[in-house]
Chains A and B, each alone.
Chain A
Amino acid sequence: MPKITYITHDNNKHTIDVDNGLTVMEGAVQNDIPGIDADCGGGMACATCHVYVKEDWLNKLPKKEDGEEDMLDMAFEPKSNSRLSCQLLVSDDLDGLIVNIPSKQG
């Protein structure tokens, strides 16, 4: 099972086994990792599952769909390595992924 590491704003590391087929957002929500709100439930409609992806992972992730960049306009302090975690589908390719959670979601 792929391991995903979530680093919260206060620098707590949570490394979780997340099932293939779930999203990085669902992995966080199901394991009570604080800081990912996911208000809309994964519909790419709210930008409250915003994460910063470790730079060396950026190119290994599936490309953003059009709507994702638009939603990121509304995220709290977006950066060049910002992604919506509801759009990151977990697979073996993502084993070892590290994401940082922003200080707030809005």
Chain B
Amino acid sequence: MNKTDAIIIGAGPTGLFTAHQLNLIGLNCEIIDNLNKIGGQCIELYPDKPIYDIPAVPECTGKELTNNLINQLKPFDIKFHLNQRVDEVKKDNDNWFVKTNNGKTFLTPNVIIAGGVGSFEPRRFSPKECEKYENKSLFYAIKDKKIFEGKIVTIFGGGDSALDWAIELSKNSRVTLIHRRDEFRGAKSTVNKMNELVKSGKISLLTKYQLTNVMGSDQIQNIEIKHDDGKTKNIKTDYILGFFGLIMQLGPIADWGLNIDKKTITVDTEKFETNQKGIYAVGDICSYPGKLKLILSGFHEGALAARACFKLARPNEKYRFEFTTTSSNLLKRLGKKE
């Protein structure tokens, strides 16, 4: 069990700056995120798109913003727990007990939800029957590519993941790549490579098709795909893989007894506290009158929530407001003064 002054759920820009604010005022924290990397929507949805409305930063991409925020955290020792989703938050006397889907547990007086629109999950195939084959003969990510050796593998998607895996698996498997249109959005060199493999017969390519059904018993045996013109086709396959990117799902947050309205959590604007004492929501996931879904608003919300955490984490101390320009306390924490 890890004990900490605050748990931050979400390693996007708001979560990162909130961690900065907590550490600056002398509180420690740990950050949990379901993605395998730091940066949230900035890194997953628009790493290369420029942002123009960060105060004092005329232009930066999602990736640059994330890197700058990570740099800003360098003076502090912050533990990140990536690749895991917080499944449980429940009351334990004066603390909150927090548990992730990996079984990691935490005890903390403060939980700050900086979860954007929820956790990123793979976008799934639409036919209902797909669900029962998930992680058996249907995958949205590959952990062990050996299982595909010598098998028939059907890959759906038009981006880099679909193309990369089609190319890689074509070495040892019979690969069919299926996409809803003729154009691929993957890197040009990857698309060229794939086209070469199609020409040499290593990859079968079917475009303007989408998955309409899967058939089998324990494992998938056949799938039905449908062309834009309405004609269907049956193909035999051992595995199907879907690479349609990620989508945000509110997920377990809905079960923690918080006031939720249209996928956002209602908070006050003094502490950004929810209806549960010691649970705060900041950034895109919180709502209050006048809420703007801007990164700069998330920074403000995180700064105030961090001050609110102080009371519960240090009940016998008094919080004193200080500036980083002049306070020797703050400068020491920032490593700028002995």
Inter-subunit contact B183/A48 (CB<8 Å) = no
Contacts of B210 in A (CB 8 A): 77-78
Asked if B41 lies at the interface with its beta carbon under 8 angstroms from chain A, I say: yes
Q: Total interface residues on B, using CB and 8 Å?
A: 25
Closest B residue by C-beta to A102: B126
Whole-angstrom distance between the Cβ of A57 and the nearest chain B Cβ? 19
A96 within 8 A of B: no
> Which of the listed residues A39, A80, A105 has the most CB atoms from chain B within 10 Å of its own CB?
A39
**A22 on the interface (CB 8 Å rule)?**
no
Q: Are the C-beta atoms of A77 and B126 separated by less than 8 Å?
A: yes
B147 to chain A, nearest CB (A): 26
B244 touching A74 by the CB < 8 A rule? Answer: yes
Q: Is the CB of B45 within 8 A of A106?
A: no
- Which residues of A53-106 have CB atoms within 8 Å of chain B's CB atoms? 69-70, 73-74, 76-78, 80, 105-106
B293 at the interface (CB under 8 A from A): yes
Contact indicator A40/B123 (Cβ below 8 Å): no
Beyond A41-B293, A80-B228, A106-B123, whether A73 also contacts B244 by CB under 8 A is yes
B126-179 interface with A by 8 A CB criterion:
126, 157-159, 179
Whether a CB of chain B sits under 8 angstroms from the CB of A1 is no
Q: Are A45 and B245 in contact (CB under 8 A)?
A: no
Closest to B118 in A: A39
Q: Of all chain B residues, which has the CB nearest A105?
A: B247
Q: Do residues B247 and A106 form an inter-chain contact, with CB atoms below 8 A?
A: yes
Compute how far the CA of A40 lies from the CA of B51 in the bound complex, rounded to whole angstroms: 14
Can you name the residue of chain A whose Cβ is closest to the Cβ of B249?
Answer: A106
Q: How many angstroms between the C-alpha atoms of A49 and B185 in the bound complex?
A: 20
Q: Is the CB of B248 within 8 A of A73?
A: no
Q: How far is the CA of A46 from the CA of B180 in the complex (A)?
A: 18
How distant is the Cα of A66 from the Cα of B245 in the complex, in angstroms? 17
Does A70 contact B185, Cβ atoms closer than 8 Å? yes
Q: Is the interface of A mostly helix, strand, loop or mixed?
A: loop
Q: A69-B181, A73-B159 are in contact. Are A39 and B248 (CB under 8 A)?
A: yes
* Interface membership of B117, Cβ < 8 A: yes
A58 CB → nearest B CB, Å = 14
Q: Shortest distance in angstroms between A100's beta carbon and chain B's nearest beta carbon?
A: 16
Q: Please indicate the chain B residues that have their CB under 8 angstroms from the CB of A41 in the complex.
A: 284, 293
A46–B45 CB distance below 8 A: yes
Contacts of A46 in B (CB 8 A): 45, 247-248
Q: Provided the pairs A48-B247, A76-B126 are in contact, do residues A43 and B185 lie with their beta carbons within 8 angstroms?
A: no
List residues of chain B with CB within 8 A of the CB of A80.
Answer: 228
Q: Is B46 an interface residue (CB 8 A)?
A: yes
Q: Tell me the smallest distance from the CB of B139 to a CB of chain A, in Å.
A: 17
In whole angstroms, how far apart are the Cα atoms of A66 and B163 in the complex? 19
Question: Within 8 Å CB of A39, what residues of B?
Answer: 117, 247-248
Contact with A along B183-217 (1 / 0, CB 8 A): 10100000000000000000000000010000000
Neighbouring A residues of B158 by C-beta, 8 Å = 73
Per-residue CB proximity of B103-134 to A under 8 Å, as 1/0? Answer: 00000000000000100000110100000000
Rounded to whole angstroms, the CA-CA distance of A106 and B180 in the bound complex is 16
Which 10 interchain pairs have the tightest Cβ spacing? A106-B247, A45-B45, A70-B185, A74-B245, A39-B117, A74-B244, A73-B158, A39-B248, A106-B123, A77-B126
Q: Which residues on A are within 8 Å of B, measured CB to CB?
A: 37, 39-41, 43, 45-46, 48, 69-70, 73-74, 76-78, 80, 105-106
12 contacts across the A-B interface (CB closer than 8 A): A37-B263, A39-B117, A43-B46, A43-B49, A45-B49, A48-B247, A70-B159, A73-B244, A74-B244, A74-B247, A77-B210, A78-B180
